[in-house]
Amino acid sequence: MRPSELDFRHYESRVMLRVVIGSRAYGLDDEHSDTDKRGIYLPQAEQHWSLEGVPEQIENDATQEVYWEFEKFLKLALKSNPNILETLYSPLVEFASPFAKKLIAARAEFLSRAVYDTFQGYVESQFKRITTELRNLERIRWKQMMHLIRLQLTGITLLQTGELTLHVGEHLQLLRDIKSGKRTFDEVDALRRSLSHQFDLALATTSLPEHPNRELANDLLIEARTLALKASLP
């Protein structure tokens, strides 16, 4: 058994939030889609204070599950990590403890203009890798390209509306066409550049704050650590 699987079994009872993300949350799923689960776990205080410490994340490859330790989750949320924000905003919540529900109720406090640098920076870096693979290996990862376009569309809407919506809505057919290779590389690259411009415009006019609410995040962390003194999951 892998160390990560041992960690998962050891801390599984401390999972405070479990949601489904990925294609099923985006509305892009089909009969072949996996069910990707993400969430948060809160170790007991004694586990956290021990010499061994606790892992920043636990995972179960067999069931496509990944859970971040609460403090790690908060720090990533403050950096506008896409996976973390999608976990907070997934419409497919399988389990949420009372404290996790409190976190979800405050999720808008983690949204800020930082999503521009995080989302767009990831898109640009990954497109460079895809271009290099195309040049050197003559292959294109269409599914990856589709998700990069999806991330741009999500980020633009977030800056424009102040809301993070995972379902792709009216862009469903476009994204499916990209995934299936019905659009050429040049077409998708041109779309990426057009969306980058729209992203710039959205950043200039967004009502989102410059930074997320770090004070709230700190208060939540202190409260969680206090609650972790109890044996039961808060």
For 161-213, what is each residue's pLDDT tens digit? 999 999 999 999 999 999 999 999 999 999 999 999 999 999 999 999 999 99
Check residue 31 and give its pLDDT. 85
- Is the CB of residue 95 less than 8 Å from the CB of residue 14? no
CB atoms within 10 A of CB 193: 10
Quick check: 1 pLDDT over 90? Answer: no
105 Cβ neighbours under 8 A, 6+ residues apart? none
Check residue 125 and give its pLDDT. 96
pTM score, two decimals?
0.94
Check residue 52 and give its pLDDT. 87
Check residue 32 and give its pLDDT. 86
Q: What percent of the chain clears pLDDT 90, i.e. is strictly above it?
A: 89
Averaged pLDDT for residues 207-233: 96
Check residue 155 and give its pLDDT. 97
CA dihedral sign, ordered 47, 48, 52, 55: positive
Q: Domain 3-107+213-227 carries which CATH code?
A: 3.30.460
Q: Exposed/middle/buried for 43, CB within 10 Å: 0-12, 13-18, 19+? A: buried
Cα-Cα-Cα-Cα torsion 176, 94, 32, 126, nearest 10 degrees, comes to 50
Quick check: 2 pLDDT over 70? Answer: no
Quick check: 5 pLDDT over 90? Answer: no
Quick check: 7 pLDDT over 80? Answer: yes
Sequence ranges of the domains in the chain = 3-107+213-227, 114-205
Averaged pLDDT for residues 124-153: 95
